[in-house]
């Protein structure tokens, strides 16, 4: 089992680098987050032993015990929707929170980070595709959110995140990922801040996300295999 996992991991790592080169970018500009949700600590340890340090989880119930037991130099990325009653745990465990999509959540995280003396990197999540079922802020909330994020002292605002609809074709993927990049460029100009990170691209769509400027790809099933949510 673990041999297969190692093979998949090395495969994806080279695919990500290749997609960057194909897009005329340096592979060092694109970081791979291994999305380990639903997979056990042993699988994470195997990938860790290959040198991977950035791991992504969707739920605090899973992130918290993994953070407690796995090596301390793992950089945990919380990529799923965050309920405000889990915000304190997120501040304690995550290095990076990708899913900040309201001023209310932002204010809460900023206060909790201040109280715990921690600095946490954040991304603002936007729903670029306009799909009703997805989390993420809408474009028209961008200025309000950006102003609030720019005013934070304990949260370090690094950029934007989005998810593309599963059924999107290639043209739609370019629209969604290019749309997030354009929104980032606009917010950089208006805020005068540097927003270097674009978290976009998953197992099935990362080459297009990289072509559109992704700096953080979140890849789960292509590394770890199919998820079993029934366990
Ligand atoms: C699960 C998840 C991923 C990884 O998806 P794969 O298709 O397995 O690569 C990426 N981003 C988010 C927000 C997720 O919830």
**Angle CA(28)–CA(217)–CA(58) in degrees, nearest 5?**
140
- pLDDT score for 131: 76
Nearest atom in ligand 1 to the alpha carbon of residue 203 is 9
Confidence class of residue 231 from pLDDT cuts 50, 70 and 90? Answer: low
Average pLDDT over residues 191-199: 96
Encoded tokens for 53 = 């340090």
Nearest atom in ligand 1 to the alpha carbon of residue 222 is 9
Q: Is 77's C-beta closer than 6 angstroms to any atom of ligand 1?
A: no
Residue 192 CA to ligand 1 centre (angstroms): 31
Residue 115 CA to ligand 1 centre (angstroms): 31
- pLDDT score for 184: 98
Protein residue with its CA nearest to atom 11 in ligand 1? 218
- CA dist., res. 45 & res. 126, Å (int): 32
Residue of 11, 56, 57 with the most ligand 1 atoms within 8 Å of its CB, for mutation: 56
Residue 109 CA to ligand 1 centre (angstroms): 23
pLDDT in tens, 33-52: 999 999 999 999 999 999 99
Average pLDDT over residues 101-122: 97
pTM of the shown model = 0.96
Q: Is 80's C-beta closer than 6 angstroms to any atom of ligand 1?
A: yes
Confidence class of residue 1 from pLDDT cuts 50, 70 and 90? Answer: low
Q: Is 79's C-beta closer than 6 angstroms to any atom of ligand 1?
A: yes
Cα separation of the two ends of the chain: 18
C-alpha dihedral sign at 85, 159, 136, 104: positive
pLDDT in tens, 143-179: 999 999 999 999 999 999 999 998 899 999 999 999 9
Protein residue with its CA nearest to atom 10 in ligand 1? 218
Confidence class of residue 138 from pLDDT cuts 50, 70 and 90? Answer: confident
Nearest atom in ligand 1 to the alpha carbon of residue 35 is 4
Average pLDDT over residues 42-70: 98
Q: Is 221's C-beta closer than 6 angstroms to any atom of ligand 1?
A: yes
DSSP H/E element including 121:
strand 120-125
Q: Is 37's C-beta closer than 6 angstroms to any atom of ligand 1?
A: yes
- pLDDT score for 105: 97
Q: Is the pLDDT of residue 139 over 90?
A: no
Q: Is the pLDDT of residue 86 over 80?
A: yes
Nearest atom in ligand 1 to the alpha carbon of residue 58 is 15
Q: Is 58's C-beta closer than 6 angstroms to any atom of ligand 1?
A: yes
């Amino acid at each position: 089992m673990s041999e297969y996992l190692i093979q998949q991991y090395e495969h994806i790592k080279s695919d990500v680098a290749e997609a960057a080169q194909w897009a005329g970018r340096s592979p060092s500009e694109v970081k791979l987050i291994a999305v380990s949700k639903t997979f056990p600590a042993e699988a994470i340890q195997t990938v860790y032993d290959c040198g991977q340090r950035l791991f992504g989880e969707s739920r605090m119930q899973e992130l918290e015990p993994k953070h407690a037991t796995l090596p301390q130099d793992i950089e945990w990325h919380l990529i799923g929707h965050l309920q405000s009653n889990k915000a304190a745990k997120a501040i304690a465990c995550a290095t990076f929170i990708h899913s900040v999509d309201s001023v209310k959540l932002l204010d809460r995280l900023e206060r909790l980070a201040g109280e715990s003396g921690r600095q946490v990197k954040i991304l603002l999540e936007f729903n670029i595709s306009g799909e009703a079922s997805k989390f993420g802020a809408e474009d028209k909330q961008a200025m309000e959110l950006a102003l609030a994020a720019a005013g934070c002292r304990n949260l370090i605002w690094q950029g934007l995140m989005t998810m593309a609809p599963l059924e999107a074709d290639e043209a739609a993927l370019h629209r969604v990922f290019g749309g997030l990049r354009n929104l980032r460029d606009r917010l950089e100009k208006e805020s005068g801040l540097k927003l270097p990170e674009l978290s976009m691209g998953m197992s099935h769509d990362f080459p297009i996300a990289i072509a559109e400027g992704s700096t953080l790809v979140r890849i789960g099933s292509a590394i770890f295999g199919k998820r079993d949510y029934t366990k």
